[in-house]
Copies of this chain bind each other. A is one copy, B any other.
Amino acid sequence: MMFRRVAIFGVGLIGGSFALALKRAGMVQEVVGAGRKRETLDQALALGIIDRIALKPEEALAGCDLAMIAAPVAQTENILSSISPHLEASTVLTDAGSTKSDVIAAARAVLGEKIVQFVPGHPIAGRELHGPQAALAELYQNKRVILTPLPENSAASISAVTQAWQACGAQVDTLSAVQHDAVLAAVSHLPHVLAYALVAQIARAEDAQLKFGLASSGFRDFTRIAASSPEMWRDIALANRDALLNELSTYQKMLEHLHGLIERGDAAGLEKLFTLASEKRLSLNLPK
């Protein structure tokens, strides 16, 4: 399999790494880049991530087999609107957004009958850095990519997106959008909110400087994700609101329970809960 032309809407870390990986695998003849900022597109061109800049969506989409939307989730609907009139029948459209139900709802509203061409996806990979300079051909190597195909998608469209990601070195699985959003709320979106909350709490304390000065490597690792982009995580929190609130409410109940155990001095109850967590954590085979 070989793509004649791939269009990337958003040539930063995620879209740029996708383009580089497809190129390295010899899976694409030409990559066309589109995006809001001319400077970013120029960088991507200079770095060999894209072969050509498209200033209008119709230029990006003409004769293209695969189009990837790799922009912050809050921009997805606007990009879909600009793409929709120019999407040729032979183009498979996919995305890399961190949330899926909201993207699908936007796509259904905007794409009309062309929804059959849209195969939603989410690569579980990232770095703290962003922009074309951060893109790496090996970013998706041995990472998971979740597709949440629609009932309308053809097997051929799903297969094209699957093969593209496999060529990037990823393991591709499918889930329903609802399942995807619930899972990511628990293992990604909630931890980000919790890390932001802890750093904000200490930053607001009178003795913030003393506290941060005595923080150890445990605190450093726990709060690493609190350095993530506030805009991006604001958008994800709102895009996945229902699933996130569901996990957050469960977590709030868990803290109430823990508060009670500590208040009552319930050593056995605390040890039971801590042991469940530590045995599970030690048994996990998490990404390097």
Interface residues of A (CB under 8 A from B): 124-126, 144, 146, 175, 179, 182-184, 186-188, 190-205, 207, 210-231, 233-235, 237-238, 241, 244-245, 247-252, 254-256, 258-259, 262-263, 265, 267, 270-271, 273-278, 280-282, 284, 286-288
Contacts and interface: CB of A to CB of B under 8 A. Distances in A.
Contacts of A182: 207
Contacts of A194: 194, 198, 222, 255
Contacts of A233: 274
Contacts of A192: 218
B245 A255 contact: no
Given A207-B183, A245-B263, A287 B124 contact: no
B195 A234 contact: no
Nearest to A270: B234
A39 B156 CA distance: 65
Nearest to A224: B221
Contact of A200 (B188, B231, B247, B276): B276
Contacts of A211: 183, 186-187
Contacts of A188: 215-216, 218-219
Question: Chain A's interface: helix, strand, loop or mixed, by majority?
Answer: helix
19 contacts: A175-B210, A186-B205, A187-B214, A188-B215, A190-B198, A191-B218, A194-B222, A195-B277, A197-B255, A199-B276, A199-B281, A201-B251, A203-B280, A218-B228, A226-B278, A234-B271, A238-B262, A238-B270, A245-B262
A228 to B, nearest CB: 6
A281 B222 contact: no
A244 B114 CA distance: 55
Given A187-B215, A218-B188, A281 B197 contact: no
A266 to B, nearest CB: 9
A212 B187 CA distance: 7
Given A144-B213, A241-B263, A252-B252, 11 more contacts: A126-B218, A183-B214, A186-B202, A197-B277, A226-B281, A230-B271, A230-B277, A234-B274, A241-B262, A245-B263, A248-B259
Contacts of A218: 126, 188, 191-192, 224-225, 228
Nearest to A180: B214
A216 B187 contact: yes
A50 to B, nearest CB: 26
Contact of A237 (B231, B244, B270, B286): B270
